[in-house]
């Protein structure tokens, strides 16, 4: 709320030689979770507030430290009102944040009701995890406890969905939302309980002529390579979007194309996007909005991401931002979750293209623990036999039986097995974006001697009753009670 008030103060102030964006967002350098932002924008430790020293340099950290009256807007919560006649004022954002900043801990009292009503509906939803990160990423970088709790709730949310239905039955847009939320929460969306959400989304986009730009943006944020064909589809979507959702879809298409332009293989030149953004700018009304609050915020995200400087001749960003701030409700939201989701990044000069896992040191979800939890996961399971045979005469044989969720690839089952038994550890090469195995149990393909790993389906218990599988393990989806075999044997060369 403090940030919004500061921004509003800047908006109604006079003009200067600075660019619009410099003027609007120069105060948006928030301190991290464990710091206090002085009035001169210096960040000091929370513990240094009211410690008797001028740590800020402007002495703003030593003001309102012993008051019986009202507190200023930037420190609107009065500590220990019922315990002392005189007490200090702290920022309202410090109330109910898990840290006792008041002498008697009054800032952490009467929090249960708020937390119980906010957490299920606000803090732990997919979109709000993203909005929290884009509006103030210190929530994730400086407060591991909150980040871990968010990660846990997100994991539980998707697992609950998967317990009731197959991953194929979950919409692509919902999976895309999970991918984005997992990235900011330090969960690997490619290894979520042996499910590869990124590959699942990619498989769907390749099977369709139409591309949903929000899905493509999630894939790009997750590091999936965007192809020339993807760019062509996104561009086509921009010009053929359904009129009812025209501007929203166009703005999302621009965001996805901007993300594609940032990838190292340069499949799209950002200079080509000006024609598209000009179409968005034409939609602005005289009062500064673009159709409605949500669309205004989404268009501003697209412009922030695609243009380094504001195009003041064709789009009034200052007027648009003023309209956004005027729409804020007393509870700090912007009317509903969707509006708030799109607005908060704008107030921090960010966009959905800034979704990233770069702040993650290590994954929150431990893979070994995830594998253990998977065994007890509620929902339909399939029993899969996975065998390793080594030698033309099967000199060495080992078999593992696994109960795994339905509709996961054999590649993920192999990862599962490798986590259970190190003898199943493997290495692979990527061909056409798919993994192909060249080593299992430290035994590599030996082309000179003609010994290679071959994948088979054991049709029956008979030694010779095997059906060869030439596809990548990532494209093999076993059925219940199926027996799959990797056999290290001599290659039969044919002309």
Which residues make Cβ contacts (< 8 Å) with residue 138, sequence separation at least 6?
30, 31, 32, 33
- Asked if residue 407 lies in contact with residue 414, where contact means CB atoms within 8 angstroms, the answer is no
Strand, coil or helix: 57: coil
Tell me if 436 is assigned to a ligand binding site.
Answer: yes
Tell me if 242 is assigned to a ligand binding site.
Answer: no
CA nearest to 394, candidates 456, 318, 301, 308: 456
Tell me if 437 is assigned to a ligand binding site.
Answer: yes
Tell me if 465 is assigned to a ligand binding site.
Answer: no
Q: What is the DSSP letter of 447?
A: T
Tell me if 152 is assigned to a ligand binding site.
Answer: no
Phi, psi of 485 (to 5 degrees): -130, 130
Encoded tokens for 368: 């070994």
Tell me if 400 is assigned to a ligand binding site.
Answer: no
Strand, coil or helix: 451: strand
User: b or e along 360-399 (b: 16 or more beta carbons within 10 Å of the residue's beta carbon)?
Assistant: beebbbeeeebbeebeebeeeebebebbbbbeeeeeeeee
Tell me if 273 is assigned to a ligand binding site.
Answer: no
CA nearest to 159, candidates 373, 372, 478: 373
Residues 428 and 438: their CA atoms lie apart, in Å, by 5
Please state whether 57 falls in left (phi above 0), alpha (psi between -120 and 50) or beta.
left
Cβ burial of 279 (10 Å; 0-12, 13-18, 19+) is: middle
| Positions at the binding site for cyanocob(III)alamin | 248, 292, 436-437, 453-455
| Positions at the binding site | 248, 292, 436-437, 453-455
């Amino acid at each position: 709320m403090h940030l919004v008030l500061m921004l509003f103060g800047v908006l109604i102030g006079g003009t200067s030689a600075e660019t619009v964006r410099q003027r609007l967002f120069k105060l948006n350098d928030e301190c991290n979770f464990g710091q206090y932002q002085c009035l001169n924008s210096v960040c000091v430790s929370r513990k240094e507030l009211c410690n008797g020293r001028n740590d800020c340099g402007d002495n703003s950290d030593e003001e309102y430290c012993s008051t019986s009256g009202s507190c200023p807007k930037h420190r609107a919560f009065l500590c220990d009102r019922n315990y002392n006649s005189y007490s200090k004022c702290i920022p309202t954002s410090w109330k109910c944040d898990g840290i006792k900043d008041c002498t008697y801990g009054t800032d952490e009292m009467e929090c249960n009701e708020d937390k119980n009503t906010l957490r299920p509906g606000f803090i732990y939803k997919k979109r709000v995890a993203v909005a929290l990160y884009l509006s103030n990423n210190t929530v994730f970088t400086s407060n591991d406890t909150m980040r871990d709790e968010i990660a846990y709730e997100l994991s539980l949310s998707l697992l609950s969905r998967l317990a009731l239905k197959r991953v194929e039955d979950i919409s692509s847009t919902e999976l895309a939302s999970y991918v984005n939320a997992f990235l900011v929460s330090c969960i690997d969306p490619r290894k979520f309980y042996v499910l590869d959400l990124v590959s699942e989304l990619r498989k769907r986009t390749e099977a369709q002529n139409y591309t949903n730009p929000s899905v493509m943006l999630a894939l790009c944020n997750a590091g999936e390579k965007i192809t020339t064909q993807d760019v062509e589809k996104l561009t086509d979507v921009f010009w053929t979007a359904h009129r009812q959702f025209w501007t929203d879809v166009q703005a999302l298409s621009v965001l996805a194309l901007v993300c594609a332009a940032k990838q190292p293989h340069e499949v799209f030149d950002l200079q080509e996007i000006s024609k598209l953004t000009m179409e968005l700018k034409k939609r602005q009304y005289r009062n500064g909005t673009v159709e409605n609050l949500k669309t205004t915020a989404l268009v501003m995200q697209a412009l922030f991401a695609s243009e380094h400087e504001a195009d003041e001749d064709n789009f009034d960003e200052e007027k648009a931002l003023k309209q956004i701030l005027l729409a804020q409700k007393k509870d700090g939201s912007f009317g509903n979750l969707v509006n708030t989701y799109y607005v908060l990044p704008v107030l921090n000069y960010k966009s959905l293209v800034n979704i990233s896992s770069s702040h993650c040191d290590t994954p929150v979800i431990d893979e070994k623990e995830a594998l253990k939890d998977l065994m007890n996961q509620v929902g339909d399971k399939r029993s899969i036999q996975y065998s390793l045979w080594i030698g033309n005469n099967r000199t060495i044989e080992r078999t593992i039986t696994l109960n795994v969720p339905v509709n996961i690839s054999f590649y993920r089952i192999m990862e599962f097995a490798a986590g259970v038994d190190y003898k199943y550890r493997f290495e692979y090469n990527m061909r056409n974006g798919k993994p192909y195995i060249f080593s299992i149990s430290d035994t590599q393909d030996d082309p000179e001697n003609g010994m290679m790993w071959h994948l088979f389906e054991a049709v029956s218990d008979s030694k010779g009753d095997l059906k060869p599988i030439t596809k990548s393990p990532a494209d093999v989806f076993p059925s219940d009670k199926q027996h799959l075999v990797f056999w290290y044997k001599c290659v039969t060369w044919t002309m």
